[in-house]
Copies of this chain bind each other. A is one copy, B any other.
């Protein structure tokens, strides 16, 4: 696969194959928009029916062009795409966007056609984007190579780079985000059926692109999903947050995916596992993408999850408290010295319990806003601060905004605002906050959610840093490898236990264990994600509840501990009513060993399940009482 994607985004010349003089049609729009948005390179419409389009000379065939274009847009009927792609190969075109529909998304004949395209692209080393896509925009380079309503507007270049498997929807998000959302976009590419350059290729490119600060992706399915671990890791190291919107999470949603762009939807649980392991922020609505993007633009990360709120509206403080606690934040008490410091100037009836309700009275003397911020930001129990300003507007709002900007500049902790005044009446204070990189939200719920996303990402970075120091357990089992040789049958009972034992997992007869908690631990070797480890409570639980933790291998010891704690049924393993705590250390050890086993037998193992795995009281270990292993089909 080609990797010089800068050439794709900033082509010096573009051929538009199948360009039409009817500028309202799909094949007429790209040339029109390239021209109207001031594309600075050379344009070559190709169509034997015309001499010129929009004053640009039109060529009968690609072979007739005076140079090799950096990029070709293919706008011809599906049946003719293979021919045209071959011509691109012959000419030596490095990148091609295939807009045409009628491939795998329609099944049958379309699938056959798509296979042919893959073959041609490989033979000629063409970087193909699409088919069944809507092209791309590079705002700064003035490359508006696509079609659709959003191309009618112009945009300011920003720091967000996007990739979307859906054309219509990706551009809708880009348009709302750039304009109403105040979060301008640098680049967007829509990838459709993704037979060539993939979503992860583009993300990889964005990580290396110095102008990209935040990466947003709309994903229906990733053919090369295991690369999420590697790409995500580099993004995390580079400090470039990825906000990913993964759709098709219900069975019917997955059916809809397949009939749309023909991307494989894949297991929702494995996507979530990869997101968690690499701090990829999951979006669930357009507003999430905008809100989280604005949060990351502040350029600060909290050192922990402890949020203090300063509010003039108690109601909003309650909402934010509920939302933040539900998303893993803590709402700590202020330190006594902070309370004392505040007591000196806040009104008598102010509440100094977090959320700190200073009441609107502090606006009578606006420097109190700055003093309040200083006190709360200086609190050793506080990692980030949200201020809630209700609908404050007018002259007072400008003064208050100035105090907030100054106060935030005296600290390196993130400061967020929930401020419900309408844009129409508060453009000045909002512009002051924007200029200072202070995120602000109309709704305290959304503000809380955005802070939680920032804190979650910061925690993922810290976690990754810790894990980097942890050794990855590597084990090798010659006996197991032989037992899972090509064509071997499913293993169960003692045969399966012998495999486990070779990797140091304690096994025994199923009847000796009493007083333990039954759990299930296993491996899924997914065709796209590769080996993943699964953990769940056993018995009736496993049967009726979707309460399992997943991690892609390799799983470190702290990963394993986190898996155990994250299931809803975790209290069954902790000390309970007249029940000792279970041996979670031994359980974590089994999970780590399963990960090592999964990697060692990656080419042979399809699935493995220890059920039940009996977790005895702390210090007494675990026992794999029964297991089954399904070898990979050859």
Contacts and interface: CB of A to CB of B under 8 A. Distances in A.
Contacts of A365: none
Interface in A167-226: 167-173, 175-176, 179-180, 218, 220
Interface stretch (A353-361, A369-377, A464-472, A597-605): A353-361
A318 B286 contact: no
Given A106-B349, A349-B106, A424-B179, A390 B318 contact: no
Contacts of A357: 259-260
Contacts of A359: 101
Most chain B CB neighbours (cut-off 10 Å) among A106, A152, A331, A422: A422
Most chain B CB neighbours (cut-off 10 Å) among A314, A349, A421, A571: A314
A261 interface: yes
A504 interface: no
Interface in A130-145: none
A168 B319 contact: no
Contact of A218 (B170, B252, B315): B315
Interface string A559-579: 000000000111110001100
Given A102-B349, A319-B169, A325-B250, A153 B314 contact: no
B179 A260 contact: no
Contacts of A168: 312-316, 360, 390-391
A558 interface: no
A397 B150 CA distance: 13
Nearest to A445: B285
Nearest to A322: B253
Given A149-B390, A569-B545, A577-B543, A176 B442 contact: yes
A318 B424 CA distance: 34
Interface string A539-550: 011011100000
A429 B152 CA distance: 17
B260 A314 contact: yes
Contacts of A425: 152-153
Given A250-B326, A325-B250, A170 B315 contact: yes
Contact of A259 (B255, B353, B572, B577): B353
A166 interface: yes
A249 B322 contact: yes
A394 interface: yes
Copies of this chain present in the complex amount to 2
A527 interface: no
A165 interface: yes
Interface string A291-326: 000000000000000000000111111110110011
A312 B148 CA distance: 12
A557 interface: no
A92 interface: no
Given A420-B175, A442-B176, A445-B286, A315 B247 contact: yes
A443 B316 contact: no
A510 interface: no
A422 B179 contact: yes
Contacts of A390: 148-149, 168-169, 171-172
A437 interface: no
Interface in A494-514: none
Interface in A227-286: 247-250, 252-253, 255-257, 259-261, 284-286
B260 A351 contact: yes
17 contacts: A110-B349, A148-B390, A149-B392, A166-B313, A168-B315, A169-B319, A169-B420, A171-B390, A175-B420, A220-B315, A252-B331, A253-B322, A260-B315, A284-B445, A543-B571, A544-B576, A545-B545
Given A105-B351, A168-B391, A544-B571, 4 more contacts: A149-B390, A168-B360, A248-B322, A543-B576
Q: Top 8 nearest A-B pairs by Cβ distance?
A: A166-B315, A168-B313, A260-B314, A169-B315, A172-B420, A168-B390, A544-B571, A253-B322
